[in-house]
Amino acid sequence: MVFEIITIFPDFFRSILEHGLLKRARVGGQAEIRLHDLRDFTDDRHRTVDDRPFGGGPGMVFKPEPLFRAVETLKAEPSGEAFPVILLSPQGRLLTQAVAGELARHQRLVLLCARYEGVDERVAEHLATDELSIGDYVLSGGELAAAVVMEAVTRLLPGVLGNEESREQDSFSGGESTVGAHGILDCPHYTRPPEFRGWTVPEVLLSGNHEEIRRWRRRRALEKTWRRRPNLLASVALSDEDRKLLEEIKNAALEPAR
């Protein structure tokens, strides 16, 4: 996967490229991140990327010319298929695990990072093929959002996660299996010590009974999802056991506290 990042702050990305998953994927050859300074695609002495909005009002808007020129430069490079051109924006469709999965199937992605009031609408309409939001809150630039997209996509690329980290194959192990388009929330995890400041680890996890542990984890995952994100339960495939566990969870919640 080649990520082509178009930004006025290429240095913003340096540290995340040198750490953790993105570093490993770059070294391993699964991901390449190319940083493009939008100002390199301007043609005036001041390297101007923004201008005042027609119609008046506060703030500045990214001009179309540098963004078009940057993307068209990439399109002119000899490469395979057409690639998505993604504009990070609060107006975009929401990034989910399923969207990350779709993006991971491409060989090249362009990420357009804007600031201020955003971009001239002709960029959104005629240059971007996709507009993505990482959530309903306001950032001051698309750079952090682009970093989130890169991280979510990179961990889905073949060979990036080891078997230990990738729990996708075991749909009952929690973790990865869960959160996402057709997932539920993860169960709680504990490590040593078994007692910390008087708070103890649930007995079942120390029991060595793997079948009971599996059931307990599934139950706690379902319970957390039902309490915090009930809408996720509507889009997940529930087993007969899941339905039984959910009944128990709901009944227990209805019982008056004793």
Stretch that binds ligand 4GX, among 50-58, 75-83, 84-92, 234-242 (CB under 6 A): 84-92
What residue spans of the chain are helical by DSSP H? 14-17, 20-27, 64-76, 97-103, 121-126, 142-154, 210-228, 230-234, 240-254
257 binds ligand 4GX (CB under 6 A): no
Which residues in the 162-191 window bind ligand 4GX by CB under 6 A? none
118 binds ligand 4GX (CB under 6 A): yes
Q: Does residue 120 have an active-site annotation?
A: no
Which position among 33, 86, 88, 110 is part of the footprint of ligand 4GX (CB under 6 A)?
A: 88
| Cα-Cα end-to-end distance for the chain | 56
Q: Name 158's bridge partners.
A: none
For 183-195, b/e burial (b = at least 16 CB within 10 A) is bbbbbeeeeeeee
Stretch that binds ligand 4GX, among 52-60, 134-142, 199-207, 216-224 (CB under 6 A): 134-142
252 binds ligand 4GX (CB under 6 A): no
Which position among 64, 90, 101, 175 is part of the footprint of ligand 4GX (CB under 6 A)?
A: 90
One-letter identity of residue 224: K
CA triple 179-34-36, angle to 5 deg = 115
60 binds ligand 4GX (CB under 6 A): no
CB 225 within 8 A of CB 184: yes
| Residue 209: Cβ within 10 Å count | 12
CB 68 within 8 A of CB 56: no
Among 206, 116, 103, residue whose Cα is nearest residue 151: 103
Catalytic option among 53, 64, 84, 90: 90
Catalytic option among 170, 212, 247, 248: 170
137 binds ligand 4GX (CB under 6 A): yes
Q: How far is the C-alpha of 20 from the C-alpha of 23, rounded, in Å? A: 6
Going by the DSSP 8-state scheme, the letter that residue 198 receives in this structure is: T
53 binds ligand 4GX (CB under 6 A): no
145 binds ligand 4GX (CB under 6 A): yes
CB 232 within 8 A of CB 186: no
Nearer to ligand 4GX, 125 or 164 (CB): 125
57 binds ligand 4GX (CB under 6 A): no
Stretch that binds ligand 4GX, among 22-30, 81-89, 186-194, 221-229 (CB under 6 A): 81-89
Min separation Cβ 36 and ligand 4GX, Å: 16
Which residues participate in catalysis according to the annotation? 90, 117, 155, 170
Residues that bind ligand 4GX (CB under 6 A): 87-90, 114-115, 118-119, 133-135, 137-139, 141-142, 145
